[in-house]
């Protein structure tokens, strides 16, 4: 039997981290996943999928993501049921996450969060030196083939990101995922 789920979407709110009585971490969150087609008005609809992640991965997920973060998850679908306080049987279907990936840098994630909450963007002071252009980033995210870019902004014909090792890497602590 195969039970495999792979999703890419954005968090609808911060992950809710809790601990069981035995001290095991568990985080639950909802992932908004855009549909591949548009509705009659030409708007893209989304599915809101409940997910749960356990143990150390739950703590990491809660610490490094926030509302609006773009994440990829890998796991399995699970159904369960319980009886609520009114005596009614409640059925729950959710994704049990086994692996996750952060799909944008912290600065990109914060910038998209600023846009979605209508807050003004803060200006990055020189920390994006050496980054590739927005157009090239968008092409890479959309799957279009582009040549790798070296830290000095030049096309790297060999495809080796470490080819120009005579210059130090310019990276700030806010760009690190841990």
Q: What is the mean pLDDT of the chain?
A: 75
Distance CA 154, CA 29 (A): 40
Mean pLDDT of 8-16: 93
Q: What is the CA radius of gyration of the chain?
A: 20
- The whole-number pLDDT of residue 8 equals 94
Residue 123 has pLDDT above 70, yes or no: no
pTM of the full predicted structure?
Answer: 0.59
- The whole-number pLDDT of residue 4 equals 96
- The whole-number pLDDT of residue 39 equals 84
- Three-state SS string over the chain comes to CCCCEEEEEEECCCCEEEECCCCCEEEEEEEEEEEEEECCCCCEEEEEEEEEEEHHHHHHHHHHCCCCCEEEEEEEEEEEEEECCCCCEEEEEEEEEEEEEECCCHHHHHHHHHHHCCCCCCCCCCCCCCCCCHHHHHHHHCCCCCCCECCCCCECCCCCCCCCCCCCCCCCHHHCCC
Residue 168's pLDDT band, with cuts at 50, 70 and 90, is low
Domains and CATH numbers, the chain: 5-107 (2.40.50.140), 130-162 (no CATH)
- The whole-number pLDDT of residue 16 equals 93
């Amino acid at each position: 039997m195969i039970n495999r789920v792979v999703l890419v979407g954005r968090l609808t709110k911060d992950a809710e981290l809790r601990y069981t009585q035995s001290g095991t971490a568990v985080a639950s969150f909802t992932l908004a996943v855009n549909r591949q087609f548009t509705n009659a008005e030409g708007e893209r609809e989304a599915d809101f999928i409940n997910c749960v992640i356990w143990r150390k991965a739950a703590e990491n997920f809660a610490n490094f993501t926030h509302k609006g973060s773009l994440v990829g998850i890998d796991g399995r679908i699970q159904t369960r049921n319980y009886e609520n306080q009114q005596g009614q049987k409640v059925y729950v279907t959710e994704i049990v996450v086994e692996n996750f990936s952060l799909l944008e840098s912290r600065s990109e994630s914060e910038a998209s969060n600023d846009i979605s909450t209508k807050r003004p963007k803060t200006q990055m002071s020189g920390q994006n030196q050496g980054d590739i252009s927005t157009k090239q980033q968008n092409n890479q995210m959309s799957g279009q083939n582009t040549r790798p870019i070296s830290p000095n902004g030049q096309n790297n014909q060999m495809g080796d990101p470490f080819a120009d090792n005579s210059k130090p890497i310019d990276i700030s602590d806010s760009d690190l995922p841990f």
